[in-house]
Amino acid sequence: MTTAPAAPAAPTASAASNTSPAIAPVPFMHTALLPQDIEAATAVLRSGMLRAAGQCAALEVKFGEMSGAKHAMTCANGTCALQLAYEPLFQPGDEVLVPAWSYVATASMLAARGCKPVFVDALPTTGQIDMADAAKRITPKTRGVAATHMYGCPVDIDAVTAFAAHHKLRVVYDAAQAHLSMYKGKGIGEFGDAVTYSFYATKNLGTGEGGLITCNDDVLARDIKLLRSHGETDKYVHERIGYNYRMNDITGAIGLSRLARLPQDTATRQANAAKYAKLLAGLVGIEPLAITTGAVSAYHLYTVRIDPAVFSVSRDQLSKELMTLGVPTAVHYPRSLPDQPAFKPYLADQKPCPIAQRMAQTVLSLPMHHMLTDEHFATIASALKTVVTRFAR
Ligand SMILES: Cc1ncc(COP(=O)(O)O)c(C=O)c1O
């Protein structure tokens, strides 16, 4: 079984599966700390300096450098990161274009700001935000785009940049799943008004909970820092209303320690993605999502589409069968955002997003992490071949 926790965004072993596999399953993810991570956290504990201090500051400097951004601000989690990025850029009543195919927080934090999330359909090839569809949904009230680099794959940043420049929109990229992803040879921190990250336990850089915002504008960085800590400009002087969304130094130390390995771990994920692509090229009905032209994915997840026209059983049944063959899978996500009850109040005048709805029916994430071995790949290859042989029409 995978070690997947029950928290909302965590990949879990196929929810549908309760059948024990005949062989030791391939781990769906790998979240274990190394001794040096534990030592880094323990050193903070020994120091007694638990609040955000040197470790968080060092994590900010390093993560900013590695992402191509001038400013980096740690915070409590990826949801806070979105809230801290949105609040200075958008006003209540603004409409913001947001992908129908994303994790809930990308859109719910717009709603929390009093904005209207306007859902944009996905590209059928990549599953990323479709900027041609965005153009059809713009209104005089539209003030921004919040685009998610889903699964670790950057969106078509050139298209977003051109669209935003033309319509004078602010841009936030949700990179919760896309640490160290690249676009046209540059770190994704170079683009947009702000980029947000999650360090949730299962993310490529996992600290348990944690988040970070990058940006390249000095004024915005100051705003975000003020919002993060009660608008405090001097001890007990509060220039504006803010929150306590700070990280702490235990988390910072774990993040900094893991960040040292992240480039290598990411390269291993990318090599594993290449192995998957080769494997799937020979199989009918299981198709990897395409990568945006010019993008380098961090492969937080390796997500394929199951073609319902090819198989005589459902995607969920295939997932169960794969589990019995030692391959846990997960569905990211089983509903598109407009199909979430929470967003119903915003949908009255919004057209459906059929591609995103179809993704919810067809996607399946296969095991992806930096500790997959050749034996794991042999198990995965054999399981995939078996289900194709058994269930392809
Ligand atoms: C795309 C996306 N955005 C935002 C978040 C929220 O991050 P957190 O769980 O750290 O609040 C997640 C977490 O899964 C995510 O995947």
Q: 215: domain CATH number?
A: 3.40.640.10
Same domain, yes or no: 325 and 336: yes
More confident residue, 136 or 12: 136
Domain that holds residue 383: 262-391
Band of residue 21 on the pLDDT scale cut at 50, 70, 90: low
Residue 344 lies inside a defined structural domain of this protein: yes
Residues touching ligand 1 (Cβ under 6 Å) are 9, 77-79, 102-103, 105-106, 148, 174, 176-177, 198, 200, 211
Same domain, yes or no: 242 and 287: no
Same domain, yes or no: 63 and 94: yes
Element (H, E) at 279: helix 262-281
Three-state secondary structure call for residue 277: helix
Same domain, yes or no: 238 and 208: yes
Distance CA 2, CA 11 (A): 9
Q: Which residues pair with 98 in a beta bridge?
A: 119
Measured in angstroms, how far is the CA atom of residue 88 from the centroid of ligand 1? 20
- Which residue among 102, 103, 212, 245 is best mutated to probe the pocket of ligand 1, counting the most ligand atoms within 8 A of its Cβ? 103
Tens digit of each residue's pLDDT (9 = 90 or more) over 191-242:
999 999 999 999 999 999 999 999 999 999 999 999 999 999 999 999 999 9
Q: Report pLDDT for 1.
A: 31
User: How many structural domains comprise the chain?
Assistant: 2
Tens digit of each residue's pLDDT (9 = 90 or more) over 281-298:
999 999 999 999 999 999
% residues pLDDT > 70 (the chain): 94
Nearest protein CA to atom 10 of ligand 1, as residue: 78
* Size of the chain, expressed as the number of residues it contains: 393
Same domain, yes or no: 280 and 266: yes
Domain end among 212, 227, 259? 259
Average pLDDT of span 141-153: 98
Ligand 1, atom nearest to 200 Cα: 10
Contact by Cβ (8 Å): 203, 176: yes
Measured in angstroms, how far is the CA atom of residue 176 from the centroid of ligand 1? 5
Same domain, yes or no: 88 and 181: yes
Residue 14 lies inside a defined structural domain of this protein: no
Distance CA 317, CA 391 (A): 10
Domain end among 209, 235, 259? 259
Same domain, yes or no: 110 and 226: yes
Q: What is the pTM of this model?
A: 0.95
CB-based contacts of 169, cutoff 8 Å, min separation 6: 97, 142, 143, 144, 145, 163
Cα atoms in the 13 Å half-sphere on the side-chain side of 266: 22
Same domain, yes or no: 81 and 111: yes
Measured in angstroms, how far is the CA atom of residue 89 from the centroid of ligand 1? 20
Nearest protein CA to atom 14 of ligand 1, as residue: 9
